[in-house]
């Protein structure tokens, strides 16, 4: 029987994930990843409540339950990365880094070492695991040892492919594009064929403890707290000018350029009349640049330079017709890639440095890169 360790966050999605795997005949162990437990001023971290909810569901399902403490690694790999990127004036996505470094590396490795055959999470995505292939002298990757003239080979599996969820409105492949094909080969996404409403119904039908629990919003690891409030605990506020690019005059003050991102409209508190939008910032001068012109060229780009390109399996061919997504739940935009340059067929608004551009061929997520 295949032994699967399920990441259980205490939410409805991971609860239903565990329930489905039990019903499908897997040997299931629930695992709560303790990534963050620090309270912030006026805001209590919900980790203890989430852990308790995950435990209750595990008891309901009659499965083993473990806690993996990844808090230090999470601070080093995800939280510090996010803070450093914001200090550079960029807009990182900590959920993507969490998947790359924690869920599909640290959790996967720890689970396999602990006796698991595979892991599973409540992500809305699908995996094509491919068909097993017989190793030959030409394609053998993992040597068995000294054989008898080259006939001693093991069965291998092709790398898995990441596919869009059936419910594209809920699809989470954007957050998963930096996972490897090898990791996906050991991963199950049981919710990939369902819509969120169906998952809620399945939780209610099964009487799961978390059936009516609300989804957590805000920073992925500190519950309801907003990004601005979180960053304020780690960076010193540095007031500076908000500059209108049309007149090149200061029209207001901000409390730190680090808190603003391209395309932002709310929280500027400048002037009346037409709304202002952030069209740029200078971290050295600590200035935020705004405009009332929705068509400002600084906000609309059809060519982006990508850094840190990552491919789940094989790279896309230069100039190949692709689709690109520049933000979670953003439209899939016709595009092509030449080297590190992403060419969009139509200009797109507010692609901020530090955001990810995720690339697709049909319904397959190929990988992507980070906007320079």
List, for residues 77-89, the tens digit of each pLDDT value: 999 999 999 999 9
Q: What is the pLDDT of residue 146?
A: 30
44 and 214 Cβ atoms separated by less than 8 Å: no
3-state secondary structure of 283: coil
Q: Summarize pLDDT for 207-233 with one digit per residue, the tens.
A: 999 999 988 765 655 555 678 888 888
Confidence of residue 365 (pLDDT cuts 50, 70, 90): very high
Task: Measure the CA–CA gap between 329 and 172, rounded to whole angstroms.
Answer: 8
| Whether the predicted pLDDT of 290 surpasses 50 | yes
Pairing of strands 277-282, 287-291: antiparallel
Task: Inform me whether the pLDDT recorded for 181 exceeds 60.
Answer: yes
pLDDT given for residue 217 in this prediction: 61
* Phi, psi for 158 (deg, rounded to 5): -65, 155
Q: Does the pTM exceed 0.85? A: yes
**How large is the average pLDDT for residues 83-106?**
95
Task: Tell me which residue has tokens 């397959």.
Answer: 364
**Active site members:** 98, 220
Q: Which residue has the higher pLDDT, 267 or 340?
A: 340
Two structure tokens written together for 341: 């340059």
DSSP letters along 60-75, please? HHT-EEEEEE-HHHHI
Higher pLDDT, 186 or 143: 186
Averaged pLDDT, 273-288: 94
| Confidence at residue 233, expressed as pLDDT on a 0 to 100 scale | 85
Give residue 143's pLDDT. 31
Residues 78 and 221: their CA atoms lie apart, in Å, by 10
Give the architecture-level CATH label for domain 300-371. Answer: Beta Barrel (2.40)
List, as own/partner pairs, every contact residues 179-184 make where C-beta atoms lie below 8 angstroms and the sequence separation is at least 24, other chains included.
Answer: 179/99, 179/100, 179/104, 179/312, 180/104, 180/312, 181/312, 181/313, 183/104, 183/105, 183/108, 184/104, 184/127, 184/129, 184/159, 184/160, 184/312
pLDDT band at 278 (very low <50, low <70, confident <90, very high): very high
Of 107-116, 272-281, 284-293, give the lowest mean pLDDT range.
Answer: 272-281
Q: What pLDDT score does 139 carry?
A: 39
What pLDDT does 147 receive?
33
Query: Residue 249: how many CB atoms within 10 A of its CB?
Result: 9
Given a cut of 70, whether residue 299 has pLDDT beyond it is: yes
pLDDT at 134 (0 to 100): 47
From the centroid of its chain, how far is CA 12? 18
CA dihedral (1, 23, 164, 210) positive or negative:
negative
For residue 223, the model assigns a pLDDT of 55
> Dihedral of the CA atoms 55, 59, 63, 68 (nearest 10)?
10
Q: Identify the weakest region by mean pLDDT among 61-70, 155-164, 197-206.
A: 155-164
Q: Return the pLDDT at 158.
A: 61
**Mean pLDDT in residue range 77-106:** 95
Question: Has residue 67 got a pLDDT over 70?
Answer: yes
Segment 18-47 shows an average pLDDT of: 92
Among 123, 131, 187, CA closest to 158: 131
Q: What is the pLDDT of residue 348?
A: 95
User: What integer pLDDT is reported at residue 294 of this predicted model?
Assistant: 87
Annotation: CATH topology of 236-291: SH3 type barrels. (2.30.30)
Decide if 182 contacts 159 (C-beta within 8 A): yes
Average pLDDT over residues 134-163: 48
Q: What residues contact residue 344 under an 8 Å CB cut-off, 6+ apart?
A: 301, 302, 303, 304, 324, 333, 334, 335
Please, what is the average pLDDT of the chain? Answer: 90
**Helix 47-61 vs helix 12-23: crossing angle, to nearest 10:** 20
pLDDT at 251 exceeding the cut of 90: yes
CATH of domain 3-205: 3.40.50.620
Provide the pLDDT for residue 42: 72
Contacts of 179 (CB under 8 A, 6+ apart): 99, 100, 104, 162, 187, 312
Domain ranges in the chain are 3-205, 236-291, 300-371
* Mean pLDDT value of segment 87-101: 95
């Amino acid at each position: 029987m295949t032994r699967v360790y399920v990441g259980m966050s205490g939410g409805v999605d991971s609860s239903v994930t565990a329930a489905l795997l039990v019903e499908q005949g897997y040997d299931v162990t629930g695992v709560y990843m303790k990534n963050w437990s620090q309270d912030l001023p006026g805001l209590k971290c919900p980790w203890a409540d989430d852990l308790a909810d995950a435990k209750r569901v595990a008891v309901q399902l009659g499965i083993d339950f473990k806690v993996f403490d990844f808090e230090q690694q999470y601070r080093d790999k995800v939280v510090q990365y996010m803070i450093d990127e914001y200090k550079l004036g960029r807009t990182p996505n900590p959920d993507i880094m969490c998947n790359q470094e924690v869920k599909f590396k640290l959790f996967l490795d720890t689970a396999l070492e602990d006796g698991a055959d595979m892991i599973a999470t409540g992500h809305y995505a699908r995996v094509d695991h491919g068909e097993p292939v017989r190793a030959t002298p030409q394609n053998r990757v993992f040597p068995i040892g000294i054989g008898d003239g080259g006939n001693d080979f093991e069965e291998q599996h092709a790398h898995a492919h990441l596919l869009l969820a059936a419910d594209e409105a809920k699809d989470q492949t954007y957050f998963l594009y930096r996972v490897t094909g090898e990791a996906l080969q050991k991963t199950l996404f049981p919710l990939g064929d369902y819509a969120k409403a169906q998952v809620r119904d399945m939780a209610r039908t099964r009487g799961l403890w978390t059936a009516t629990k609300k989804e957590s919003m805000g920073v992925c690891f500190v519950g309801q707290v907003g990004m601005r409030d979180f960053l304020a605990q780690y960076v010193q506020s540095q007031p500076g000018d908000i500059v209108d690019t049309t007149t090149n005059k200061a029209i207001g003050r901000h409390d730190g350029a680090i808190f603003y991102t391209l395309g932002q409209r709310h929280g500027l508190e400048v002037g009346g009349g037409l709304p202002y939008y952030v069209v740029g910032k200078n971290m050295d001068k600590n200035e935020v640049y705004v405009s009332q012109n929705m068509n400002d060229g600084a906000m609309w780009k059809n060519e982006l330079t990508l850094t840190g390109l990552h491919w789940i399996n094989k790279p896309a061919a230069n100039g190949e017709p692709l689709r690109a997504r520049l933000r979670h739940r953003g439209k899939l935009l016709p595009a092509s890639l030449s080297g590190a340059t992403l060419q969009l067929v139509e200009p797109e608004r507010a692609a901020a440095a530090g955001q990810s551009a995720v690339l697709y061929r049909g319904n397959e997520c190929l990988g992507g890169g980070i906007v320079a």
